Structure 1
Amino acid sequence: MTLPETMKFVDLPTFGAADVMTFATGPLPTPKAGEILVKVQAAGINRPDVAQRQGAYPAPKDASPVLGLEIAGEVVALGEGVSEFEIGNHICALANGGGYAEYCVVPAGQALPFPNGYDAVKAAALPETFFTVWANLFQMAGLTEGESVLIHGGSSGIGTTAIQLAKAFGAEVYTTAGSKEKCEACEKLGAKRAINYREEDFADVIKAETGGKGVDVILDMIGASYFEKNLSLLAKDGCLSMIAFLGGNIADKVDLRPIMVKRLTVTGSTMRPRTADEKRAIRDELVAEVWPLLEAGEIGPVIHDIIDFDQVADGHRLMESSSHIGKIVMRVS
């Protein structure tokens, strides 16, 4: 296969609003040992991309500065030592950066085959949310069959994924969302009760729904403004797993006694700083435990909108509006 010497990519000459993004041409990246080069057919647009564009989520020193953390496409070159993929394979992958481009290098351990029946657009909606939810909800918080979980931001890409996975693995699911339409969508995905936080106090609803017991796990992307309520809603030996701080990262004058009295665990993580081995371990569990559910049609990505490569700024504005339900995917080639 003859590859071009250059490619088109989304450049970020400065931090700022969506309009600061421009298109540029640069050299094709070369896969190093353990990496693969992918001709990108579709890429997901995610909140970390918006944060990086704004200057709040810098790329690691060894990662591409180009935006984009999840892709789907065709393997066109292999780095030294890669044996699990072949040229011509169709894969989706969690990228360390560089996804908003015609070609992207990713570690082989972060790539997964398209689930049977999936095209590039549908596959591109998987990696970022499924890696994040699996790591935080199942590996770290230890959600198991028969437990209950409260998922904040249920209509987001993370939320729609978490609802489906929690339900599929036998948990009782509660969630919050910001409109009647979003709550209805969450309940169709498997939530027992979706709470419109603009009209109801989610703490009151959860206490009523659980008879005052609370839930076993909370997956939270809001942070400081929900922290005290979250602690109050956890059952004994419960776990609060935090993945973002949309409501602030400084919690002031919070009563911490529930952590001790109820033996609570408070944990959290971001995906990007994890090591290649940690991401490979998540990838392997997804292939074994989750990919069969995708292929059976028991769960699947919720895609709100599909945009073209030259509409990337529109995709970012849609993400910032929070009016979407599910994922925003960009066709690249």
Structure 2
Amino acid sequence: MQLPAKFKHISVNPDSKSLYLDESILESPEARDVLIKVTAAGINRADLLQRQGLYPAPADASPILGLEVAGVVAATGPDVTQWQVGDRVCALVHGGGYANYCAVREDQCLHVPDNIELDAAAGLPEALLTAWHNVFERAQLKPGETLLVQGGSSGIGSMAVQMAKLWGAKVIATAGGAHKCQRLKEMGVDLVIDYREQDFEVIVKDYTEGGGVDVIFDMVGGDYIQKHINCAAVEGRIVNIAYQNGFVAEIHFGLVLIKRLSLLASTLRPQSFDAKARMTRVISEHFGAALSQGNLLPVIDSIYPLAEAEKAQNAMAQGNHFGKILLRSD
């Protein structure tokens, strides 16, 4: 595959924080890196925060926005053994996703089966790894248990509910508005709660006959923290991946003691390449067949051209989407 001298990518104006299409020299991949000709990249809230200077990239990361891509392997470094030029892959990347070429270590890539369109596959990596690590590794969801997903209509939330159902769990999910709630019902969620109209704490307690839920997967935080403690089951696990309603809350820890609860949290980006490689490998073992058979699919809301990255990020900030928002490389 003939590589161009330069590649297109999105840059951030340091003064206005606006996004614009830029070009840089395209380097050949080194060591264990593969160079992906990007078909599409996923938009994540971390990108919006990084753009505003509120979520600085690690020192060794690309300054270009974008944490996940899908496309075709265009070139391989000299030590690559897992992939060949032409392979269809999606990958969790260390920045650099908002581009038409992106380099990533080979063991951060997942095979994209033929039944999944390459652009749609860009909605897989961040959602798969985040849901797997938090719901299944940290919170240890077991078949037959009940999972509450806050924000079931998000890209990560919609992936978590699918994975949990395939795992044999009962799933409760919240969403805002009748349309999003209906979509979740169609995905097989056992109980859907419209948080704009209903108090999820009351509904959960009633649905579980006071027993509570075993695992809570949350990205809201703030005043939800105490409500989660209230509606968690004995030996329940509450795991946070974000705190959109704030990091500070007044908490009564009595029920944490009485119920023997576990309060957990994590972020994905700062974890080591080896940790992410392990997650990628285990996800392939547990859910690779479901992906290939069409039983686990990325939920895509909309796709914007790369040059309209700012418009795509604004759509995410408005919060009306269901599933992932993507950028298609030109």
TM-score scaled to structure 2, two decimals?
0.97
Deviation digits for residues 278-309 of structure 1, max 9, x if unmatched? Answer: 10111001111112112112121111111111
> Shift of residue 28 of structure 1?
1.1
Deviation digits for residues 127-183 of structure 1, max 9, x if unmatched? Answer: 111110011100111111000010000111011111111111111101111111111
**CA contact under 8 A between 2:10 and 2:20: conserved in structure 1?**
yes
The match for 1:322 is 319
Question: Is 1:295 the equivalent of 2:276?
Answer: no
The match for 1:10 is 10
- Correspondence 1:46-125 to 2 at 5 A: 46-125=44-123
How far apart are the structure 2 equivalents of 1:30 and 1:56?
A: 31
- Correspondence 1:174-189 to 2 at 5 A: 174-189=172-187
Deviation digits for residues 11-50 of structure 1, max 9, x if unmatched? Answer: 0122766xx0011111114423221111111111111111
Moved more, 26-35 or 259-268: 26-35
The match for 1:31 is 29
**CA contact under 8 A between 1:29 and 1:104: conserved in structure 2?**
no
Cα RMSD (Å): 1.2
How far apart are the structure 2 equivalents of 1:153 and 1:260?
A: 27
> Shift of residue 330 of structure 1?
1.4
CA separation of 1:131 and 1:15: change in aligned 2, threshold 3 A:
farther
Q: Secondary structure at the match of 2:279?
A: helix
How far apart are the structure 2 equivalents of 1:307 and 1:291?
A: 28
The match for 1:285 is 282
Give the number of aligned pairs: 330
How far apart are the structure 2 equivalents of 1:54 and 1:29?
A: 28
Q: Secondary structure at the match of 1:138?
A: helix
* Structure 2 residue ranges without an equivalent (≥5): none
> Shift of residue 81 of structure 1?
1.7
> Shift of residue 261 of structure 1?
1.1
**CA contact under 8 A between 1:16 and 1:53: conserved in structure 2?**
no
Question: Is 1:221 the equivalent of 2:219?
Answer: yes
Q: Secondary structure at the match of 1:64?
A: coil
**CA contact under 8 A between 2:10 and 2:307: conserved in structure 1?**
no
**CA contact under 8 A between 2:222 and 2:246: conserved in structure 1?**
yes
Deviation digits for residues 211-244 of structure 1, max 9, x if unmatched? Answer: 0000000000001220000111111111001001
How far apart are the structure 1 equivalents of 2:126 and 2:223?
A: 25
**CA contact under 8 A between 1:115 and 1:123: conserved in structure 2?**
no
Q: What residue identity is the alignment partner of 2:319?
A: S
CA separation of 1:314 and 1:304: change in aligned 2, threshold 3 A:
same
> Shift of residue 323 of structure 1?
0.2
How far apart are the structure 2 equivalents of 1:165 and 1:16?
A: 40
The match for 2:169 is 171
Q: What residue identity is the alignment partner of 1:95?
A: V
Deviation above 3 Å: which 4+ runs of structure 1?
A: none
How far apart are the structure 2 equivalents of 1:213 and 1:15?
A: 52
**Identity over aligned residues, as a percent?**
41
> Shift of residue 61 of structure 1?
0.5
Question: Is 1:201 the equivalent of 2:199?
Answer: yes
Q: What residue identity is the alignment partner of 1:47?
A: R
Q: What residue identity is the alignment partner of 2:122?
A: A
> Shift of residue 193 of structure 1?
1.1
Moved more, 192-201 or 27-36: 27-36
**CA contact under 8 A between 1:16 and 1:55: conserved in structure 2?**
no
**CA contact under 8 A between 1:131 and 1:282: conserved in structure 2?**
yes
**CA contact under 8 A between 1:98 and 1:104: conserved in structure 2?**
yes
